[in-house]
Amino acid sequence: MNLIHTIKFKFTLWYLSVLSLLLVFLACGVYFTLSRTLHGNLDDSLKTRAEQLANFRDIIPIIAGGTFEEEIGEFISVYFYADGELTDISHKKHRIPVEKDLIDLAISGKSTFSTVQYLGNEELRIFVAHYSPINPSIRLNRFVKRDEFPSPGEERQEVEIHSAALVVARPTRDVEGALDHLLKILLTAIPLTIVFSGAGGVFLARKAFNPFEQITKTAQEIGEQDLSQRIKVNTKDELGRLSTTLNHMIDRIEGAFKRQKEFAGDASHELRAPLAVIQAEATLTLEKERDAEAYRKSLEVIAQESDKMSVVINQLLTLARADAGKEQLVFKKIDMAEFLSDVCDDIAILCREKKLTLQLSPFDAVPVHGDKRNLRSLLVNLLGNAVRYTPTGGTISVGLRREGPLAVVTIRDTGIGIPPEDLPHIFKRFYRVDKARSRNVGGSGLGLSICKQIIDVHKGKIEVESRMKKGSTFYVKIPIIMSG
């Protein structure tokens, strides 16, 4: 089988696809969460630093005087308007490229964050805050307009600064470096995780699906000629239940094949006996000239054996149609008391011929829903067996009563009885309690099988009680039509 068409491949592919998506979502979540956290911490540090500097009374003269000490990596600038011209002072002559709009917003009292490029390729994160000197009159030299420090002895100029913009900036290289390092780790870890997970997934899938291979191999080895093999059940999980279910199915198939073989063997045997008699009788008759009486007797024997074959064939056809579900049934409301009386009238003739007593108990009026032809066949079979296996002078009793939702027909005889060990098997096809005696009395071993099939179609039950040399009692239970 092509690998890409196997469940193992599809299972592993889906597993890796889901895992990849989860890892990508997780990596994105980690990266963006850390980025937001680091940038938030940087902004918080800028804001805190700006608040600290704003608390200095004379931060502008200190910066302008060159005595201010910046923290490592930070840049401090102050922007203000002097004589209508935007002026800035900073330590160590660095000028932070801040947009004029941000400075104006800060001077007006609104603080803002921004990111700018410094010296061409380095990013700075800046916080522009409003600053109001406590002493507006500050003496500054004009160097502040030219970004130069004053010469010794140079006269300072006094300016009025009521509002200024304090700019605190720090490079983002540490934050970006940490994020780049994390990104490299994620870009390395995710593919490696997928590769190792894929290898582990293939291993686990192969191990998990190995029992399926064994099940397939065993199923392929099971053939029509050998249904004895079974799948080994080593676990109690889903595979164990599947194996057990398949074993039960194979048991049923084996049983069906066995019954089919037995059925074919029994059917051929049943037909072989009358055919052999017919062939032998015909051969003997044709060997030499005989008188009319001898020919008549031979033809009677042939006719009798033909009748036996016809009965067996008709019974086989009945069972075959029932098995195939092709039997045409017509269900109607039946008055069971009247129906049973009619059947008993027909059986009474057979009882008189064999000098048997037929006793009819009072019948309860119970309506049932059934097929008359099949129910008649059921009752005739049971009553015929009672006549067949009851010695001369015996008694057959027939009763009908209502028992809850069921109509119960009771057929009791004083015949030879059925051994207890045979009772569970009497409804099987071609099963005989005593084969030699059954053939002598004309039984084929199919009558009770047909009875069982008919009662099953009518959603009823058939039960039997029997004692050797005392007789048998059959109970036919059929659901009645409930009034209302």
In the chain, count H helices and then E strands. 11, 14
N-to-C CA span, the chain:
63
Q: Which helix (H) or strand (E) element contains residue 26?
A: helix 7-54
- The CATH number given to whatever domain includes residue 300 is 1.10.287.130
Instruction: Map residue 376 onto helix, strand or coil.
Output: helix
Q: 163-216: per-residue pLDDT in tens?
A: 888 999 999 988 999 999 999 999 999 999 989 988 888 888 777 777 777 777
What is the mean predicted confidence (pLDDT) over 57-70? 70
Instruction: Map residue 226 onto helix, strand or coil.
Output: strand
- Would you say residue 142 has pLDDT above 60? no
Q: 255-313: per-residue pLDDT in tens?
A: 777 767 766 766 676 677 678 878 887 887 888 787 888 888 888 888 887 887 777 77
Is the residue at 375 inside a domain? yes
Most trustworthy range by pLDDT among 21-25, 95-99, 250-254: 21-25
What is the mean predicted confidence (pLDDT) over 411-432? 87
- Would you say residue 145 has pLDDT above 50? no
85: its two tokens: 């011209």
Neighbours of 37 (CB within 10 A): 11
Same domain, 142 and 181: no
Same domain, 342 and 466: yes
Is the residue at 112 inside a domain? yes
- Would you say residue 400 has pLDDT above 90? yes
Amino acid in the structure at residue 272: R
Same domain, 456 and 332: yes
Instruction: Map residue 163 onto helix, strand or coil.
Output: coil
How does residue 359 score in pLDDT terms, banded at 50, 70 and 90?
A: very high
Domain boundary among 171, 199, 228: 171
Q: Which residues make Cβ contacts (< 8 Å) with residue 340, sequence separation at least 6?
A: 363, 379, 398, 400, 409
What is the mean predicted confidence (pLDDT) over 221-240? 73
Q: Which residues make Cβ contacts (< 8 Å) with residue 108, sequence separation at least 6?
A: 130, 163
Between CA 438 and CA 426 the distance in angstroms is 13
Q: 9-48: per-residue pLDDT in tens?
A: 787 888 888 989 999 999 999 999 999 999 999 999 999 9
What's the number of domains the chain is made of?
4
- Would you say residue 406 has pLDDT above 70? yes
Query: Which of 215-219, 307-311, 321-325, 464-468 shows the lowest per-residue confidence on average (mean pLDDT)?
Result: 321-325
Same domain, 453 and 346: yes
Same domain, 164 and 264: no
Tell me which residue of 418, 408, 349, 424 sits closest to 384, measured CA to CA. Answer: 349
Contact 414, 470 (CB under 8 A): yes
Amino acid in the structure at residue 34: L
Is the residue at 46 inside a domain? no
* Helix orientation angle between 447-457 and 292-324, rounded to the nearest 10 degrees: 30
Contact 369, 339 (CB under 8 A): no
Same domain, 471 and 342: yes
Tell me which residue of 76, 177, 72, 71 sits closest to 122, measured CA to CA. Answer: 177
Q: Which residues make Cβ contacts (< 8 Å) with residue 313, sequence separation at least 6?
A: 271
Task: Please name the residue ranges forming H helices in 126-237.
Answer: 143-146, 173-221
130: its two tokens: 């409003």
Is the residue at 222 inside a domain? no
Same domain, 184 and 86: no
Residue 464 structural domain:
328-479
Q: Which residues make Cβ contacts (< 8 Å) with residue 383, sequence separation at least 6?
A: 343, 344, 347, 396, 398, 411
Is the residue at 223 inside a domain? no
Between CA 74 and CA 270 the distance in angstroms is 112
- Whose tokens are 């130069």? That residue is 148
- The CATH number given to whatever domain includes residue 465 is 3.30.565.10
Is the residue at 286 inside a domain? yes
For the question of whether the overall pTM of this predicted structure is more than 0.85, the answer is no
Same domain, 190 and 295: no
127: its two tokens: 């916080």
Same domain, 278 and 343: no
CA 38 to chain CA centroid, nearest Å:
48
Same domain, 103 and 143: yes
Tell me which residue of 75, 95, 102 sits closest to 146, measured CA to CA. Answer: 95
Same domain, 456 and 400: yes
Long-range Cβ contact pairs of 258-261 (< 8 A, separation 24 or more): 259/429
Between CA 264 and CA 316 the distance in angstroms is 11
Output the CA torsion 449→453→459→465 (10° steps): -10
452: its two tokens: 């069982």
Domain boundary among 323, 351, 366: 323
Is the residue at 230 inside a domain? no
Between CA 314 and CA 160 the distance in angstroms is 128
Round the CA-based radius of gyration of the chain to a whole number and report it.
Answer: 54
Between CA 415 and CA 199 the distance in angstroms is 76
Is the residue at 51 inside a domain? no
Same domain, 313 and 334: no
Between CA 110 and CA 102 the distance in angstroms is 9
What is the mean predicted confidence (pLDDT) over 155-159? 57
Contact 254, 222 (CB under 8 A): no
- Whose tokens are 């051994």? That residue is 419
Q: What is the pLDDT of residue 14?
A: 85
